[in-house]
Amino acid sequence: MEHSKLRGDIDVVRSYGEAHPDAWVDLWIENEPSVRIVALFADNDVDEHEATLRGLVTHPEQLEVHRSDRYARTYLDSIAAEVRRMATITDRGSFRSWGIGAGKLNIVVRASRRDLAQRLLDTYGDAVKLRVGFLSYPDPTMIDTHVPQHRQPAPEQPPLLAADQVQVSVDEGLEVQAGGHLGTVLHVHNVGTQEIVVLTNGAVTAAIVDPRTGSVVGGYEFAQHMPGIEFRIPPGDIVDIPLLVGTASTDPLLGYCVPPGRWAIEVSLNLQDRGIFRTPLLHIEVIV
């Protein structure tokens, strides 16, 4: 409700900023300790900008205006255009996303392209905020200080599939290259007495797990936009469902890619009218 209330003020602040391109940096909503608009300007006239904006918005008590030592929007837009051009001449999939936020150009490259991240850092310096796979670059342990941090409880794991209802397997000798990803299939065997329906977006996605601890250490890093597809499995039948396996690390101690070695994968299956269940651990080898 608070966000909806501020929607008009957001448009006012953005329009004002765009009318001052040499000073305008960015705006965003912060939720803690209270919901408010934060606007950044990169010149010395911040007090003047703030006074003007407070007279224009409906909720001035929920507006903060700050001077930024970051770069004006026009400069960030020029970098974004250069990155867009770079993406057209770089190996497909090297860039996952880019966009302006909190006074920087935020760029995400795939987990295997630390070289590309370093080139961007060397070229644009602190005008860019980089992520390689799931982790910040150049420091994979870095936390975004502009986002309020809260200790979240570990999410509850879905229950295991009941082995007397559904059994799953993958092909023997499954391998994936470190830094790469693999398209394969998950064999799903309905050993129960009722039809099961697996809800997917065209495929299911594996998480890479440390088999010694059961902790998730990596996964598939790319967005998926395929439409919903149901896989119906009558009693006694086996159906092959497309399976995506990625090796982008989620553990800074491992680096940006899950290193070579013997690991395991785990898949969450969404069963219609039954809920979400995780598979037993299935072995996979990450190779050089």
Answer whether 0.75 is exceeded by the pTM.
yes
DSSP 93: T
* Residues whose CB falls within 8 Å of the CB of residue 165, separated by 6 or more in sequence, listed in order: 190, 191, 192, 196
Domain parsing of the chain, residue ranges: 2-67, 73-137, 166-287
Structure tokens at 76: 């960030």
May I ask the CATH architecture of the domain 166-287? Sandwich (2.60)
Work out the mean pLDDT of the chain and round it to a whole number: 92
In this predicted structure, what is the pLDDT of residue 152?
A: 43
pLDDT of the residue at 78 = 95
State the DSSP code for 222: S
pLDDT at position 153, please?
A: 47
Q: What pLDDT tens digit does each residue of the chain (288 aa) get?
A: 889 999 999 999 999 999 998 899 999 999 988 999 999 998 889 999 999 999 999 999 999 999 987 788 899 999 999 999 999 999 988 999 999 988 899 999 999 999 999 999 999 999 999 999 999 999 999 865 444 333 344 467 899 999 999 999 999 999 999 999 999 999 999 999 999 999 999 999 999 999 999 999 999 998 877 778 999 999 999 999 999 999 999 999 999 999 999 999 999 999 999 999 999 999 999 999
- DSSP codes joined into one string, 203-219: SEEEEEE-TTT--EEEE
Instruction: With H, G, I as helix, E, B as strand and everything else as coil, classify residue 47.
Output: helix
End-to-end CA, the chain: 50
Q: For position 227, what pLDDT does the model report?
A: 78
Q: In angstroms, rounded to a whole number, what is the distance separating the alpha carbons of residues 180 and 242?
A: 17
What does the DSSP assignment read for 117-156?
HHHHHHHHGGGEEEEETTEEES-TT---TTS---PPPPPP
